[in-house]
Amino acid sequence: MSHFIEKKNLTMSNSLHDALQIKIKSQPSDFQVSEVPLPSIFKKGDIFLYRLNKIGFTTTEAVHLIASYLSCPLQQVGYSGLKDEDGITSQLISLPRILSPDEIKAFNNQHPTLDLLYQGTTDKNLQIGILLGNAFKVTARNIPTSFVDKLKDLSSHPSFYINYYGTQRFGKPGQKSNTHIIGEYLIHHQYEEAFRLLSERPENQNMGLNKPEEYFQNLDPRKLAFYLCSYHSYNWNMSLQNHINKVTDHYELCNQKSISYSYIKAKEEKLKLIGKTNEQQLVKYRVNKERECYALHSQRSILIPVEIYISNIEEDELNIKKKSADLSFFLPSGSYATVILPQFFYEIA
């Protein structure tokens, strides 16, 4: 990863500094995400769709528990998107058989912060990326008083936002942001180095019993694809930052959980990024029927249009002399609220 970002702006402005101090995940109820599926997936078939509501689990962690409960292979539990553990999230999963009401009740009782609800049938397992997007309701906290009057003047705010990959693409909260580094090691078949980084995580204390290459050969291929995608997502972000560096001087650099971002305040400066196209090439990884990862070359939008609706501006009970506000919006599949919202506050400051 040899990308170089020229640091033209060494001092962060007050408006960007204040925007980055606003908190959007103080408690689970502050960050609510509901996956919006493609209507076409609902059809007659022998695969069964359930809505999975969860708190405190990543999608992959929840899927492991469900597969274990059903005593079925992990790959038979399908999903279209990865939701992290910080928040209240709702998404569709696909299962190889229908569950009786007693089975659903027993599972929900075993895992009080997981909830399964039958939705219908489809004809094939859900796959990553096959969804419209996600609807968000976020309570932003620790809002400085300098933002309050500007928020009160807005019922909604439409704009264009730089479509970076968010920090959760590169690591779980409280851990090092290094899934992209693991992905790079795997691409170059440096299994021992990738294994070492993974084994440093608290949840992987028993990994030392495995041989590195054998461990990755037996890993759920969707998880393997995640690491490989993480590497290319990081490269995509860095490539976009270099593009920003070439087309405008009006940006500011910041770091969020050790991941670098270049943000632009003025809409007209953002629009300069488009040039001849609003897309930049991206490499994704998907899993085929033989459970093998394969590379897929695609395009990802540099800017996305988003309208953010603002309501319930009030005293923040968690932060003295600060305000809170509810923000509602929709993002297309693969876009991140954690990079859209700092840009929103930066722009209105």
Residue 8's pLDDT is what?
A: 54
Query: 218, 176, 221, 212: which is closest to 194 by C-alpha?
Result: 212
Provide the strand spans (E) within the chain. Answer: 31-36, 47-55, 78-79, 88-95, 114-122, 133-143, 156-162, 252-256, 259-263, 279-287, 293-301, 303-315, 323-332
For 76, which DSSP code? Answer: G
Spell out the domain ranges in the chain. Answer: 14-31+133-348, 38-122
Could you tell me the pLDDT band of residue 202, with boundaries at 50, 70 and 90? confident
Query: Using CA atoms, how far apart are residues 152 and 147, in angstroms rounded to an integer?
Result: 9
Give CA angle at 85 (256, 349), nearest 5°. Answer: 40
- Stated as kind and residue range, the H or E segment containing 67 is helix 59-70
CA torsion sign for 178, 182, 188, 193 is positive
Could you tell me the pLDDT band of residue 70, with boundaries at 50, 70 and 90? very high
pLDDT tens, residue by residue, 316-336: 999 999 999 999 999 999 999
**119-136 burial: b if 16+ Cβ within 10 Å, else e:** bebbeebbebebbebbeb
pTM, rounded to two decimals: 0.91
Q: What is the DSSP string of 81-103?
A: ----SSSEEEEEEEESSPPPHHH
Per CATH, the homologous superfamily of domain 38-122 is TruD, catalytic domain (3.30.2350.20)
Residue 252's pLDDT is what?
A: 96
Query: Using CA atoms, how far apart are residues 69 and 62, in angstroms rounded to an integer?
Result: 11
Query: Using CA atoms, how far apart are residues 150 and 327, in angstroms rounded to an integer?
Result: 14
Residue 4's pLDDT is what?
A: 46
Could you tell me the pLDDT band of residue 208, with boundaries at 50, 70 and 90? low
Residue 3's pLDDT is what?
A: 53
Residue 2's pLDDT is what?
A: 45
pLDDT tens, residue by residue, 223-282: 999 999 999 999 999 999 999 999 999 999 999 988 999 999 999 999 999 988 999 999
